[in-house]
């Protein structure tokens, strides 16, 4: 019967498609062990944000290469919100968050609902307030007109390393 497709024709077509897909998979290079983390360069954004931020903008200096920057944003219209995201050497998340909005709502948002413990931690001779949370822990430093938060899934030791590396500058 001409023009009628049978199940056998469909099986042969699927087998042919499978062979083509298999060949493409085998011959195209791929690395199953490659790190999928996309590293970003935050230097240009830091320089630009320092020109417009109403507070000394924080960015790390001298962190070992194992610390990988994964995200950077500055939102002038969102209370001059500055964000730098990193993965530490243990692949734990660490973020630097700054804003001219030191409200409880902002702090709850960037710390993922962490709360103040009443304890302080000295980092480089500066007192940071420790916050504990179900998802993120944080070190919080409130100053005249802005707040700086180092937060994430990393340990307080790693959060303190980031806080110690921060350089606060205006352009």
What confidence tens digit (pLDDT) does each residue in 5-32 have? 788 888 888 899 998 888 887 877 766 6
The class level of CATH for 43-169 reads alpha beta
Query: For residues 106 and 140, is the Cβ–Cβ distance under 8 A?
Result: no
Sequence-separated (6 or more) residues with CB below 8 Å from residue 47: 171
What confidence tens digit (pLDDT) does each residue in 65-112 have? 999 999 999 999 999 999 999 999 999 999 999 999 999 999 999 999
With H, G, I as helix, E, B as strand and everything else as coil, classify residue 127.
strand
Residue spans per domain, the chain:
43-169
Rounded CA-CA distance 116/132 in Å is 6
């Amino acid at each position: 019967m001409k023009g009628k497709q049978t199940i056998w024709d469909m099986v042969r077509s699927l087998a042919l498609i499978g062979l083509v897909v298999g060949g493409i998979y085998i011959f195209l290079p791929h690395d199953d062990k490659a790190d999928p983390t996309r590293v970003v360069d935050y230097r240009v954004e830091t320089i630009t944000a320092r020109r417009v931020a109403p507070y000394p903008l924080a960015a790390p200096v001298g962190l070992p290469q194992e610390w990988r920057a994964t995200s950077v944003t500055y939102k002038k219209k969102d209370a001059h919100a500055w964000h730098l995201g990193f993965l530490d050497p243990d692949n734990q998340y660490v973020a630097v968050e700054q804003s001219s909005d030191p409200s409880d709502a902002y702090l709850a948002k960037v710390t993922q609902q962490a709360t103040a413990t009443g304890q302080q931690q000295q980092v480089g001779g500066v007192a940071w307030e420790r916050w504990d949370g179900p998802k993120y822990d944080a070190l919080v430093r409130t100053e005249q007109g802005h707040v700086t938060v180092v937060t994430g899934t990393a340990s307080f030791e790693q959060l303190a390393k980031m806080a110690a590396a921060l350089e606060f500058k205006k352009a």
